[in-house]
Amino acid sequence: MKLLVCFKIVADLDQLTPKDYVVEEKINIDTSFVKTTINCFDESGLEFGLRLSDEAEGLNLHIEKSALTIGNSQTELYLKSLNALCYDHTIRIDSGDYDIRFKPDAVGKAIVDYAEKNQQDLIIMGRQSSEGNNFSTPQVVAEQLGTGFIPNVVDIHMMDEHRLKITTDNNGNIYEQTVKTPVVVSVGNAVISKLRVPTLRDRMKYGSKEIEQFPLRLEDKSLAGKVRSLEYVDKSRSGQVIEQKGSEAVHVLYEDYLKRRLDNI
């Protein structure tokens, strides 16, 4: 079985303060000074790739694992780490000067280009990323490849060379299904969220392993659409400190706050 996991490196937006949300001339927020991280849903996907490989070994099967990302040379640190975790292929598509973070058509097309040249049985993608948040890229990939698509995947297990047991979460309803490959899956709030860590020895052993480069071919239509404005979404909530203590505080909380809310129900 051939497996491709697509992942995105994103800025850790938790490190930004409200005052960092300054819109530049290019209609962009500067996130270059904060740490980067693997998008959380993609991180689950990468670990699923390794877990499926472990399960395949137990079934005397082999999974050829590939991990692909689109980004600049900063992403190579993560690809090297995936080399050390024994991904068979690590691929970087250099987006060059194009900012396609908010263009799922363009991102999807780049992945499809790779997958058409390198046929895959299973493509695992995170359902959304903190940048863009459009939920669209996995659908775009499945649609363009003409394969089946399963959204909101929370767990994946290997059954045999051509079948997977996939669990999905649809608004709190859990479904388990047997799926024949090829298929594209979009990982949601999965049962595993963290990627295992390679040992120092493996990092040294695989440190010089090649990271494959794949060209980005963009069509004009995939670059259509222009960001016109950005604004900070203020999620802060108002609060009030109760000055009384103990049972007196509970009384005030009930009389001045909870009771009013209950009356309004």
Partner 1 sequence: MSLLREEIVEELVKICGQDAVVTDTEVLQESSYDRFRKYEGYHKVFTNPLPAAVVFVKDKKEVSEILRFANANGINVVPRTGHSATEGGLETIIENSIVLDGSQMKKIIHVDTYNMQVTCECGVVLEDLENHVRELGLTTGHSPQSKPIAQMGGLVATRSIGQFSTLYGGIEDMLAGVEAVFADGTITNIKAVPRRAAGPDIRHVVLGNEGALCFITEVTVKLYKYFPEYHVCMGYVLDDMITGIRIMHDVMTEGYKPSVARLYDAEDGKEHFSHFAPGKCVILFVTEGPERISKANAEGIKEIVAKYEECEQVDSKLIETWFANLNWDAARIEEERKEVLQTKNVCCTTEISASWSAVEDIYKICKERIINEIPDITVFGAHASHCYSNGINLYFVYWYNVVDCKPEEEIQKYHLPIKKIICEETIKAGGSMCHHHGVGKHRVHWIDKEHGSALYIVKKLKAAFDPNGIMNAGTILPYKK
Contact call for residue 247 and partner 1 (CB under 8 A)? no
Which residue is associated with the tokens 């005052």?
A: 19
Contact call for residue 208 and partner 1 (CB under 8 A)? no
Cβ proximity to partner 1: between 95 and 139 the closer is: 95
Kindly tell me which residue out of 198, 206, 216, 222 binds partner 1, with binding defined by CB under 8 A. 198
Contact call for residue 33 and partner 1 (CB under 8 A)? yes
Residue 158, strand partner residues: 164
Contact call for residue 223 and partner 1 (CB under 8 A)? no
Inter-axis angle of helices 104-117 and 137-145, to 10 degrees? 40
Determine contact, residues 64/2, Cβ cutoff 8 Å.
Answer: yes
Residue 149, strand partner residues: 184
Which residue is associated with the tokens 């280009």?
A: 113
Cβ proximity to partner 1: between 110 and 190 the closer is: 190
> What string marks each residue from 43 to 82 as x (binds partner 1 by CB under 8 A) or -?
-------------------------------x--x-----
Contact call for residue 138 and partner 1 (CB under 8 A)? no
191 three-state secondary structure: coil
Q: Taking contact as CB under 8 A, which single stretch among the options 33-41, 136-144, 153-161, 237-245 is the one that binds partner 1?
A: 33-41
Kindly tell me which residue out of 36, 118, 147, 152 binds partner 1, with binding defined by CB under 8 A. 36
CA-based end-to-end distance of the chain: 55
Determine contact, residues 163/6, Cβ cutoff 8 Å.
Answer: no
Quick one: tokens of 73?
Answer: 């040379």
Kindly tell me which residue out of 63, 93, 124, 192 binds partner 1, with binding defined by CB under 8 A. 192
